[in-house]
Amino acid sequence: MEFCPNCNCILLEDRKRKVLVCRKCKFEKSIGLEGSQRFVEIIDKKGETVIIKESDPSKERRLPITRAECKKCGNMEAYYWMMQTRSADEPSTRFYRCTKCNATWREYE
């Protein structure tokens, strides 16, 4: 998420023109490679497994690593990140991705 340097409002994406725009003062900034993280969520046919893919795979290597067991391959290390997927008064959802097989899962508080 980026903010306008002039009025501190949130910059919104204009996908057609590939720029970030401030609604208040009309400031514009081109969207470069340093743009915000973008995630795609895919739910399997059973509605159980969630796979999170980042549009720029090179950023995945910058995610922190923690000790977590992968149920798919038994590896004990995984990348992790947190996102607010429910209402603001609920805790964040923790996502994990195995460093070995790239299996992805999530945990709730």
Question: 52-61 pLDDT, tens per residue?
Answer: 555 555 444 4
For residues 25, 33, 40, 70, the Cα torsion angle rounded to the nearest 10 degrees is: -130
Residue with tokens 């159980």: 48
| CA-based nearest residue to 104, from 58, 48, 55 | 48
**Are 24 and 77 part of one and the same domain?**
no
- Give residue 9's pLDDT: 84
Strands 65-67 and 93-98: unpaired
- The domain tally of the chain equals 2
Assess contact for 90 and 99: CB atoms under 8 A: no
**Are 30 and 68 part of one and the same domain?**
no
**Are 57 and 83 part of one and the same domain?**
yes
Q: pLDDT tens across 75-94, in order? A: 999 988 888 877 888 888 88
**Positions of the chain with pLDDT lower than 70, given as ranges:** 1, 32-62
- Give residue 7's pLDDT: 86
Assess contact for 25 and 7: CB atoms under 8 A: yes
CA 30 to CA 54: how far, in whole Å? 20
> Is 14 one of the catalytic residues?
no
* Cut 0.75: pTM above it: no
> Is 69 one of the catalytic residues?
no
In angstroms, how far is CA 75 from the centroid of its own chain? 23
Instruction: Exactly one of 14, 56, 90, 107 is catalytic; name it.
Output: 90
Instruction: Exactly one of 44, 48, 89, 109 is catalytic; name it.
Output: 89
Domain of 5?
Answer: 1-36
**Are 88 and 44 part of one and the same domain?**
yes
